[in-house]
Amino acid sequence: MSRLIVHLLPLILPFLLYGLYIWHVKRSGKDGPEATPWFWLAAVGLVLMTLSFLGYDLVFGGQTGDYAPARFENGRIVPGRIGQ
């Protein structure tokens, strides 16, 4: 679940910041922008999400090797692992 949040938060962040900006503008009694820049908000969100994927891989590193699935041995479940 935390990994999902790590990757979705950068996508949602530009929309949240824009919402805070609009809220601040309306609260101060000024006229806000006439149109919402949906394309640019989505584009910036996708770029941030892509950077989060790259950053996550750089920090935690992808493991390489053959995957050995979980198995049942001597009445116990042996968890799966990635071997070299």
Among 39, 49, 37, residue whose Cα is nearest residue 13: 49
Q: Find the radius of gyration of the CA atoms of the chain.
A: 22
Look at residue 84 in the predicted model and tell me its pLDDT: 65
> Nearest Cα to 52, choosing from 7, 4, 12?
7
* 14 within some domain: yes
Query: What is the domain range of residue 14?
Result: 2-61
79 within domain boundaries: no
| Number of structural domains the chain divides into | 1
What pTM was estimated for this model as a whole? 0.64
Higher pLDDT, 47 or 58: 47
* For residues 50-66, average pLDDT: 83
Q: Over pLDDT 90: what percentage of the chain?
A: 49
pLDDT tens readout for residues 17-34: 999 999 999 898 888 788
73 located within any domain: no
